[in-house]
Structure formats: structure tokens, C-alpha cells
Amino acid sequence: MSERPTNPADGFAAMHGWDREYEVFSDFDLPTYVGPATFANLPWVTDPADLRARKVDVAIVGAPFDDLVTHRPGARFGPRAIREAQYSTGALNSLQVGIEPFSHVTVVDAGDANIVPAMWERAHAMIYRKVLEVAETGAIPIVLGGDHSITWPSATAVAEVRRPGSIGIVHFDAHADTAPDSWGQLASHGSPMRRLIESGAVKGSNFVQVGLRGYWPPPDVLDWMREQGLRCHFMTEIEERGAEAVINDAIAEALDGPDSIYLSLDIDVVDPGLAPGTGTPEPGGMLSREVLRAVRQIVGAVDLAGMDIVEVAPPYDWAESTAMIANRAAMEAISALAVRRRDGTFPSRTG
């Protein structure tokens, strides 16, 4: 152990060795538990003018809202938990696709929608406005929920920016989320896909759902889905044919008409043994590796217009595994986009 001065007259910094020269690391390279909790320690950039000036490719957006759940609350804490689930920093290196994503695409954390509790109509309006202003800059929004009701305003905003083109939806979920209402509430987390279709923001024939299982929806809702032209891939099909074959079909179906794709990932598509922190856990789901591979497959093959990752409820996430899977899903999408930038097939900017 080196000797330290012991005379306070020399100063306490000198006494303890605190005046020595040390390397100072950038905020981006510090551990994730140091400083503000941004996604992957990325810059916090909330001003649309700054997003344009930086020519941001991907912007993380938080939608901390869960006032419209029908079972377990807690997803309002999802965006923060997903941001904090990142344990490594810096440029990072994807072993899955062999690329340092942040060296190829410009990604920032654009902050959260301006949400307060107990005002669901205001919350949806704020989510719509936040996603709209991000998408209008040309950045691809990756929205961290929040309950699944946030997909209604989020996907609507993306669809509006993409006009006169159209978007399709690839929807991973244990549940179809096409209920006509929930005890009279039209905007619950069980109805966003129905609201998107009925509003005209997205056509039912441009919906592809993956991972449905359990005991909902009832026959009348399934009939409505068929009438609208929704394509559904149940877990039984994934079990019989394998996830990769099903995802290949889903990609082809999603590209049947739309110009671009909005990807909506309800984390409860993953089996609750791996992802317990959800509002409505449903046994018998996909493996996390299947979902992460699916995200890479889809984003690598379609023009991604936007994405959301929803229903992460930290109060039930005893080992933080649900938040980790959600965080990694966002990273897999970003890495797939980085590959496309490297290979010259990155989606064209809309802003």
C-alpha cells in the first residue's frame, strides 16, 4: 500500500490520495447504475429539433401508463425497469448478428410521454403526440410500455406519419386484444387492436398475430377477427411447426399490401416461467430465445415503421428477467437495423 501524507495542512485530498490523476469516462461508458436511467446509457434527447439535427435513426420512447389493465397493475413502471435492465455499456457487440449496433445507427432516448395518473384519455393523447413528433423527425420510435392500450395511440401516430402508405401490424401476444370492450370500457388493454381496425388506422387484413393461447377470446370475437381478415398463429402451430417456420409465414403475410410494419410485442407472449412480470400471465408461451430471434428475423426483412414492447410489470418480476427480455428485444431490433444500415438496406427516412 502506498504511503499517504498524514498532515492535514497538506490538504485532505492529498492526505487520502484523492488528488491523483484518474481517467474520466464518458457518460456513455459508465456503468448503467451511474447517472440518469436512459436506455443503454444513450443520450437523453427530447426536443424534436435536436432529433432532426442529429439525424436520429431510432428513438426510445417511454409510455409509463397502466390505468387500463383488467388484471394486475404495475406496467407503469415498465419503461424505467426496461431501461435499467441493461447491464453493459458502450458500443456493445451483438454476438447474434456480429455487429456493434451503435457504430452503425444513431440511437437516443427521447424520454417519456407527459403522463399523469387517473386520466386515461389525456395519457393516450400524450402518447399519440409524443410518438407522432418523434416519428415525424424520421426516427423509428421504439415505445416502452405501459399496458397494451398504448398501442392504439402509438400505432395510430406511426400510421399517420406513414400516409399515404400503409402499415401492417405484427403482434406477439398470448391474447388477441380484440375485445369489443371491457365492462363497457372501450380503451382497455384488451381492445387496442380492435380500436385500430375500427378507426381505420390499420386494416384487419394487415394484422398478423403470433403466440395466441389460453382461454380467450370467445367464439364471437374469433368470428369478428376472421371477418376482418386477421391472420393468427396460435402456440399450437408454433409447437407443431417450430417458431422459425411460423415467423417466416408471418413476415410474408405482414408484407401482403402494407408499405411498412409496426411490431407490437406483449411480453406475455413469453412463457411466464421465463417472464413472470406481466399483467396477465398465460402458461405455455414462447421461449425468450424464440422471441428474440423472431424480432431479428422480422426487423431484418421488413421496413420497420415503429415498435412497442408492453406489459412489463416490475412488481411481479422477482428476478428482473421480464425486464431483461424486453430490453433485449429492443436491442435485437436495433442490431437488426444496424445490419441493414451496414448492408445498404436500411428503411428510408420519413422526416
**What domain count does the chain have?**
1
Q: Is it the case that residue 105 has pLDDT exceeding 90?
A: yes
* The pLDDT of residue 285: 98
Residue 19 domain flag: no
Q: 19: how many CB neighbours lie within 10 A of its CB?
A: 12
Task: With beta carbons less than 8 A apart as the criterion, state whether 313 and 82 touch.
Answer: no
pLDDT tens for residues 208-238? 999 999 999 999 999 999 999 999 999 999 9
- Report the SS3 class of residue 208: strand
Residue 5 domain flag: no
CATH number at residue 80: 3.40.800.10
Residue 334 domain flag: yes
Say how far apart CA 257 and CA 238 lie, in whole Å: 24
Say how far apart CA 102 and CA 92 lie, in whole Å: 7
Burial 98-110 (b: 16+ CB within 10 A, else e): ebebbebbbbbbb
Domain extent for 149: 27-343
Residue 17 domain flag: no
Residue 283 domain flag: yes
Residue 348 domain flag: no
Say how far apart CA 196 and CA 153 lie, in whole Å: 9
Residue 8 domain flag: no
* The pLDDT of residue 1: 45
Say what the pTM is.
Answer: 0.93
Q: Any alpha helices (H) in 256-320, and if so which ranges?
A: 288-301
Residue 2 domain flag: no
pLDDT band at 17 (very low <50, low <70, confident <90, very high): confident
pLDDT tens for residues 117-168? 999 999 999 999 999 999 999 999 999 999 999 999 999 999 999 999 999 9
Task: With beta carbons less than 8 A apart as the criterion, state whether 228 and 238 touch.
Answer: no
Average pLDDT over the chain, rounded to whole? 94
pLDDT tens for residues 70-97? 999 999 999 999 999 988 888 899 999 9
- Nearest 5°: the CA angle 226, 232, 237 is 130
